[in-house]
Chains A and B, each alone.
Chain A
Amino acid sequence: MRKKRLFARAEALLLLLMLCLHTYSQNRLISGKVTDSKDGNPIQGVSVIPAGTAQGTTTNAKGEFQLSVSPTTTSLVFSSVGYGTREVALNGNTMTVSLVANSSNLNEIIVIGYGTQKKKDLTGSITTVSAKDFQQGAISTPDQLITGKIAGVVVTPNSGQPGVSSTIRIRGGTSITASNNPLIVIDGVPLENITNSDGTSSISGAPNALSMLNPNDIESFTVLKDASATAIYGNRASNGVILITTKKGRSGGALRISLNSLNSIAVKTKDVDVLSAAQLKKIVNTQGTTAQKALLGNANTDWQNQIYQKAFTTDDNLSISGGIKHLPYRVSLGYLDNNGILKTGYLRRKSAALNLSPVLLDNHLHIDLNLKGIYADNRFASSGAIGEAVRMDPTQPVYDKSSPYGGYFEWQQGNIPNVLSTRNPVADLMLTRDISTVKRSIGNIQLDYSLPFLPELKANMNLGYDISRSNGGKYIDPKYAGSYTNGGSQSAYSQYRRTELFDFYLNYAKELTSIRSRFDLTAGYEYQDFYRASPSTSTKSVTGFNPVNNAAAQTTYGLPDSSRSTLLSFYGRLNYSFNDRYLLTATVRRDGSSRFGPNNRYGTFPSVALAWRINQEHFMKTVPVFSDLKLRVGYGVTGNQDIGNNYGYLANYTLSTATTRYQFGDSAYYTYRGEAYAANIKWEQTASYNAGLDFGFFKQRLSGSLDFYYKKTTNLLLDVNQSSLSNLSNHVITNVGDLENRGVELNINALVVNSKDFTWNIGANFSYYKNKITKLSLVTDTTSPGYQTGPIGGGTGNQIQINSIGYPVNAFYIYKQVYDQKGIPVEGVYTDVNKNGGKNLFYRYKSPNPKATIGFSSQLGCRNWSLGFAMHGSFGNYMYNNVKSNLGTFSSISNPNNYIGNASTDYLHTNFQNAQYFSDYYVENASFLRMDNITLGYNFGKVIQKRVNLRLSAIVQNVFVITKYTGLDPEIPSGIDNNIYPKPRIWSLGVNLDY
């Protein structure tokens, strides 16, 4: 119902706008054509205005225009994006005008929130990466296209699984409990947060919400970093905004058919160092009990080799684009078959995208229609196998013919599997089948109408949707030891998600040459609704009974999840430019969010920024080496309403599941729990300051920008302890903390060599940042260390990190290890850092946050050859090596539970008997430098009757990593390395055919 009304309203508006079609035509009719001074091609969209007035027209696709002017008009002013402005005196009723293209990238059109701007007019910290600069190779998810490409933007894939999500941080996180993900906007449609509050994908059954988009359809990423750029997105802007623009057809363009195929092999790069069968045997035979010696087998199994494979991936895309008169179009089809290096896992994605961007009504109405559809099949390889392969006894075989567990060797206890032992990882992979199907469609239609009677005024309406449907389930074979006594397991889940957008704004742009001023005013309204529904999940036994005692098994149901939230906003922006030197941007947004109670529902988020184009000053004209020099300062306030709970301010009750009832007499009763709530919960607020310098030398051959920022987040949402008895749980998410982030960023691009046969481009970025918690609770208590976080593997409920005042987010909270003369850690001996007789040995040490990150890329072109590489690095980030802390002990091998485990070779170094989880010995410097890819391409030019362009490329991804970290991978966002799906090295061959 709501949806219908919404769209009906939009249609009415559109109709209104279309009614405004007629113009007043008197006096004198001028017609003419505008062309490019260089090649004589017509230029579309040139603004043609009688000098001294505000009202004119624009050229059509053939560069032609018609304009009636008053008898007093003596000249016309021609201006267009990418070209210089020219005033031409009237001489007769027809004219041909040529415009000179601007040589530099300063006239590049940058997509900003609710509009576009020329690069030279920007006042905020905004960086664009377009397709030619994307990361190369087999990339199944769009976020990874910009890894290491932008200063201050850290994109870290969470593992090596196909389609896996990345942790994306723009200038570090501004939150601890609420989301730290940037807002992602595709063609003007803001998406729902890509992850849930527990870090899982917001689209059930998808490894990552963004993997349900084809990276090949993306034209550019624009990252809005500072508040003056992001504040127009109000209460979703605190973590930055990423604007994704998809590829479009070209007006008047010829038919272009492009076929790309990229085929890859992924291989694992290295193994976790564990004991060999011989080493393990020796240890058990010398230190083990008689019973343990008897448990040893005779095999020599490399379990890590058993679970990984060389994985083939093909990514094929066909696109057809062109323009039929006023109807530019682009159609693309994509197919990705991405197999994981962990056996059995894959992502198979079929995608289709359509873009139509017709220009109607004599160039007054620009329509941009984008439709994207995805159909993806996933199989998730059981990730538990990774840890099992490391822990499993190498003296045991993979297969055992006499085994009742599908022919796989398993540890037994009596006539059932030993529940405490490690399961056979190969059986775990082969006997479980966790699959899903996800369908998603994202689309929008944007109508941009310039009013005929007032061409400076444009009305823009954007209607968008994002709908997905997921179905998935997990089948565990009844023979699998992990589910043997349950008779196997079958579970199913489904999810439906729907986001709707209505956005309308008016834009008024006016140049007043008399006062050397340019105004650009935008005011708009946006409505967005987010709905999701997941019915109760069910899990049932496959056979229905326990094969050991024939007891009947039961079907269990999970809790359903269904919720809805709505955002309603008004926004405005003023861009003012004086004398093309002094720029002002002011924005304001008023946001209402259904996530908050009536008293806290609305927030106002203002920003202001100033820029000074120093090189335009007369005194700089004498220094021609500068092609750009701009100083920017900005301030703004943004919010973060993504608090993880849609109804956190309301008192409500939750029913239990059928397995969590309580019995009275012979009946079991479901239970109703009153939920804790914070009636006054509100958004987190971040005030940001930014100062930047854009510079360009030698006609922009060398350009870059330097930015300094400081962000202070207040009303930080924290899952804080409630005073006991004051609420219905011990904790509730509420606004209590403060957090600071500060940093420096430098971006440099250089065209080092630019000759006919040889070109060399390099891009580099550097950023330094640090954060600090400044407030954590209502009552300051020096006795409270803070909030522990960072669950680790090993033991139950152990946590290794802490958030405390005066320290960075997620600092490690551990014991200071004491070493002997040889530098070997002494088991269980720690420094009494707090000098209280060892009562409390904890201290804070480092954190997973890097101090500095860098990115570097190079692109060499020599005739038909091209050679490029991209690398990125991170410095000062530390990692807790959970694999070692868990497995580098004798107790990892020997236990009282009738099985043998394997240990990390680190045991041979430390000789630890029991796990020392809290030793800082395991916190390692994880600074690294990673070569992301090296790409070699050869362009054969026109082949096949000289009509088809052929380009071949060879790419290696994840070429090498330089690091002191001793685990598998130093790049894990959480800073806790516990059997992460390893990132493979990928070898690819690509073929591009363009017709």
Chain B
Amino acid sequence: MNIRHLYSIIIAGALALSATSCTKDLNRLPIVQVTSASVYSNPATIKEALAKIYGGLSLSGQDVGASPDISAPDIGSNTYFRNWWEAEELPTDEAVIAWNDGDLQQYHTMNWTPQMAYLTLWYNRVFFEIASANEFIRELPDSKISSFGSSDAANIKTYRNEARFLRALAYWHAIDHFGNIPFATEASAVGNLPKQASRDSVFQFVESELLDLQNQLPDPGQNEYGRADKGAVWTVLAKLYLNAKVYTGQDRSTDCITYCNKIITSNKYSLATHYANLFEIDNHTTSNEIIFVIRANGLKSQSYGNSTFLVHAAVGGSMDPSQFGVGGGWGGLRVTANLYNLFSDPSGNTDTRAMFYTTGQTKDIADLKNFNDGYTVTKFKNLSSTGQAGSDPSGNFVDLDFPMFRLADIYLMYAEAVLRGGSGGDATTALGYVNALRDRAYGNTSGEITATDLTLPFILDERGRELYWEGGRRTDLIRFDLFTSGTYVWPWKGGVPNGTGVDAHLNIYPLASTDIVANPNLKQNAGY
């Protein structure tokens, strides 16, 4: 054999060898990140995955200002709470915002398009929350849960039920805002395009989930603070039923009363003594009124889109930030005169719920972008009931747990459902509940109303006085058919200074055009 050939063979062989032994080097695995298999094999990390779904309500991502959940031009402005709050409050008589940020102003002027960036953020966020919950539920089938020891298995089952609750909550918000929406459960794998489901059918899904969960979750007050329990499930059911006519065309006031009663008769909840305490950082120790919160902590749970947004955005002008426990204001949120005028004495001297700041501000709004136009709200603070500031020494991030559901809301829902003809309750009890709120507000009985005063329009106004800026005004106005019609207007409604009626299609937001492009199964809401 020719020696030359021998060498060629050896070289070729060596080359081939070196090549084949390296191909497995192309299977590089992440170094920092971990795989789903390891996350869902340990009860502690499973709880951390659950914390993500709760955290989905308040946090922007895995780091504050970095690693966002959703791609957004500004990371901090994209959280569930902030986007939901903006969509519920900014288009109404309760709130205007000064910032010249993209199309943010279009919320209040009701110039909504499928391309509106801020609406798209909210749309993406609500479905991100649902997708996160789906993933969690999908990764924890019964077969996997049963592989853990019995106490771990019981805990993990509760985690999964809480994920189902958070999914139901998000689906409720989604149909409330977007009508007919993309729909998928844990049964749909990553990569599958979801089908569109009608508002009615998602309503039924949410209802059936909650009806099941009311038997699964811990009793009111029995779960760790911040986690959902039966009280939260009943509240969402009550809210779903109160608004059922909007969603399905069918009045469910009786069912609403049923679940309001469950909450009230559980005897776990009572009104806080002082209204102001509900919006201070020790609100869970000063009362038993709160049913479900979105938690915040200035050091451990930082976000620009939890109550940090609410406290900072309302501070500006000549307001002293230290009076709110923060290092500075963001100069954004104010109210229209309509909300201010709901109070016969807006000074706060009689009705303590009237918490406005007027120095250097005008009542009327000539320019939406001018923070000095419109009075501001002093309701939310990063201070304790004793005046102690929150934990972040720089005052950037606040400690205020946002009360998403509280007993006062249940009282007003009960009264409204009774007035709407629901059975299972009565007008006398309803009047008692409303007067309980007014007694607290006035510090005495001077604010009490009589049975004849208790009308549906009064309820709407009272909800404004009691619950303003707590996220829900848009839903209330739609339920009262005042959101789009010309019968009730507020400054800059429809984009004109004195306000005007707008087309009824605006009772539902458009689906984001980005989703229409990505998913051929989707049909845009009527009118857009």
**Nearest CB in chain A to that of B312: its residue:** A419
Q: Is the interface of A mostly helix, strand, loop or mixed?
A: loop
**Nearest CB in chain A to that of B513: its residue:** A784
Q: How far is the CA of A551 from the CA of B396 in the complex (A)?
A: 13
**Nearest CB in chain B to that of A570: its residue:** B19
CB distance B52 to A660 under 8 Å?
no
Segment of A116-124, A560-568, A953-961 in the binding face: A560-568
CB distance B194 to A650 under 8 Å?
no
Q: Which residues of B contact A525 (CB under 8 A)?
A: 15, 18-19
Q: Which residues, 1 to 17 on B, are CB-close (under 8 Å) to A?
A: 4, 7, 10-11, 14-15, 17
Is residue B442 contacting chain A, with contact meaning CB distance below 8 A?
no
**Nearest CB in chain A to that of B59: its residue:** A660
Select which of A459, A724, A730 is within 8 A of B194 by beta carbon.
A724
Q: Which residues of A contact B320 (CB under 8 A)?
A: 413-414
CB distance A778 to B300 under 8 Å?
no
**Nearest CB in chain B to that of A675: its residue:** B33
Q: How far is the CA of A487 from the CA of B392 in the complex (A)?
A: 12
CB distance A727 to B190 under 8 Å?
yes
Is residue B526 contacting chain A, with contact meaning CB distance below 8 A?
no
Q: Is the interface of B mostly helix, strand, loop or mixed?
A: loop
Q: Which residues of A contact B70 (CB under 8 A)?
A: 729-731
CB distance B295 to A915 under 8 Å?
no
How many residues of B are counted as interface, with CB atoms below 8 angstroms from the partner's CB atoms? 121
Binary contact readout A510-539 vs B (1 if CB under 8 angstroms, 0 otherwise)? 000000000000000101010001000000
CB distance B102 to A731 under 8 Å?
no
Q: Which residues, 270 to 285 on B, are CB-close (under 8 Å) to A?
A: none
Q: How far is the CA of A107 from the CA of B316 in the complex (A)?
A: 73
Is residue B100 contacting chain A, with contact meaning CB distance below 8 A?
yes
CB distance B115 to A653 under 8 Å?
no
- Known contacts being A559-B63, A659-B63, A730-B124, is A674 close to B48, with CB within 8 Å? no
Q: Which residues, 873 to 908 on A, are CB-close (under 8 Å) to B?
A: 891, 895-898
- Known contacts being A655-B62, A785-B115, A896-B360, is A728 close to B131, with CB within 8 Å? yes
Q: How far is the CA of A646 from the CA of B66 in the complex (A)?
A: 19
Residue of A419, A502, A560 with most partner-chain B CB within 10 A: A419
Is residue A654 contacting chain B, with contact meaning CB distance below 8 A?
yes
Is residue A156 contacting chain B, with contact meaning CB distance below 8 A?
no
CB distance A672 to B26 under 8 Å?
no
Q: State how many angstroms separate the Cβ of B443 from the closest Cβ of chain A.
A: 30
CB distance A840 to B394 under 8 Å?
no
Is residue A822 contacting chain B, with contact meaning CB distance below 8 A?
no
Q: State how many angstroms separate the Cβ of B42 from the closest Cβ of chain A.
A: 10
Is residue A71 contacting chain B, with contact meaning CB distance below 8 A?
no
CB distance A840 to B113 under 8 Å?
yes
- Known contacts being A725-B182, A840-B113, is A797 close to B72, with CB within 8 Å? yes
- Known contacts being A545-B393, A663-B226, A672-B49, is A652 close to B55, with CB within 8 Å? no
Q: How far is the CA of A415 from the CA of B327 in the complex (A)?
A: 10
Segment of B140-148, B457-465, B486-494, B516-524 in the binding face: B516-524
CB distance B517 to A797 under 8 Å?
no
Q: State how many angstroms separate the Cβ of B315 from the closest Cβ of chain A.
A: 10
CB distance B127 to A724 under 8 Å?
yes
Q: Which residues, 781 to 824 on A, are CB-close (under 8 Å) to B?
A: 781, 783-785, 788, 791, 794-799
Select which of B33, B67, B330 is within 8 A of A652 by beta carbon.
B33
Q: Which residues of B contact A917 (CB under 8 A)?
A: 100
CB distance B393 to A553 under 8 Å?
yes
Q: Which residues of A contact B393 (CB under 8 A)?
A: 485-487, 541, 545-546, 549, 551-554
Is residue A30 contacting chain B, with contact meaning CB distance below 8 A?
no
Q: How far is the CA of A915 from the CA of B66 in the complex (A)?
A: 28
CB distance B514 to A721 under 8 Å?
yes
Select which of B73, B127, B132, B316 is within 8 A of A674 by beta carbon.
B132
Q: How far is the CA of A865 from the CA of B217 in the complex (A)?
A: 90
Q: How far is the CA of A570 from the CA of B23 in the complex (A)?
A: 12
**Nearest CB in chain A to that of B34: its residue:** A653
Select which of B19, B191, B224 is within 8 A of A727 by beta carbon.
B191
Q: How far is the CA of A486 from the CA of B74 in the complex (A)?
A: 24
Binary contact readout A565-595 vs B (1 if CB under 8 angstroms, 0 otherwise)? 1101010000000000000000000001110
**Nearest CB in chain B to that of A720: its residue:** B518
CB distance B35 to A653 under 8 Å?
yes
Segment of B246-254, B365-373, B413-421, B468-476 in the binding face: B365-373
Q: State how many angstroms separate the Cβ of A277 from the closest Cβ of chain B.
A: 25
- Known contacts being A660-B55, A727-B190, is A914 close to B130, with CB within 8 Å? no
Is residue B341 contacting chain A, with contact meaning CB distance below 8 A?
no
CB distance A673 to B62 under 8 Å?
yes
- Known contacts being A730-B71, A797-B117, is A897 close to B317, with CB within 8 Å? yes
CB distance A413 to B26 under 8 Å?
no
Is residue A408 contacting chain B, with contact meaning CB distance below 8 A?
no
Is residue A726 contacting chain B, with contact meaning CB distance below 8 A?
yes
Is residue A109 contacting chain B, with contact meaning CB distance below 8 A?
no
Q: How far is the CA of A554 from the CA of B390 in the complex (A)?
A: 13
Select which of B36, B48, B71, B131 is within 8 A of A651 by beta carbon.
B36
Is residue A196 contacting chain B, with contact meaning CB distance below 8 A?
no
CB distance B225 to A564 under 8 Å?
no
Segment of A9-17, A98-106, A706-714 in the binding face: A9-17
Q: How far is the CA of A16 from the CA of B15 in the complex (A)?
A: 12
Q: How far is the CA of A19 from the CA of B194 in the complex (A)?
A: 65
Q: Which residues of A contact B127 (CB under 8 A)?
A: 724-725, 730
Q: How far is the CA of A757 from the CA of B212 in the complex (A)?
A: 98
Q: State how many angstroms separate the Cβ of A639 from the closest Cβ of chain B.
A: 15
16 new A-B contacts, CB < 8 A, other than A730-B70, A783-B516, A798-B101, are A9-B14, A19-B7, A420-B330, A502-B18, A506-B11, A525-B15, A566-B26, A568-B26, A650-B35, A654-B32, A656-B62, A663-B295, A664-B54, A670-B48, A723-B519, A798-B100
Q: Closest 8 interchain pairs by CB?
A: A419-B328, A546-B393, A797-B73, A797-B74, A724-B127, A723-B519, A551-B393, A662-B55
Residues of B in contact with A (beta carbons under 8 Å apart) = 4, 7, 10-11, 14-15, 17-19, 21-23, 25-36, 39, 45, 47-49, 51-52, 54-55, 58-59, 61-64, 66-67, 69-74, 76-77, 99-102, 111, 113-115, 117, 123-124, 127-128, 130-132, 134-135, 182-184, 188, 190-194, 224-227, 295, 297, 299-303, 316-318, 320-322, 327-331, 360, 367, 369-372, 389, 391-395, 512-520, 522, 524
Q: List 20 A-B pairs, Cβ < 8 Å.
A: A13-B11, A414-B322, A559-B66, A560-B32, A656-B59, A662-B58, A672-B34, A672-B48, A677-B190, A721-B517, A723-B182, A724-B515, A725-B194, A726-B192, A727-B190, A781-B516, A788-B117, A796-B99, A896-B331, A896-B370
Residues of A in contact with B (beta carbons under 8 Å apart) = 2, 5, 9, 12-13, 16-17, 19-20, 291, 413-416, 418-420, 451, 453-454, 459, 485-487, 502, 504, 506, 525, 527, 529, 533, 541, 545-546, 549, 551-554, 558-566, 568, 570, 592-594, 598, 601, 646-647, 650-666, 668-675, 677, 679, 719-731, 777-779, 781, 783-785, 788, 791, 794-799, 839-840, 891, 895-898, 914-915, 917
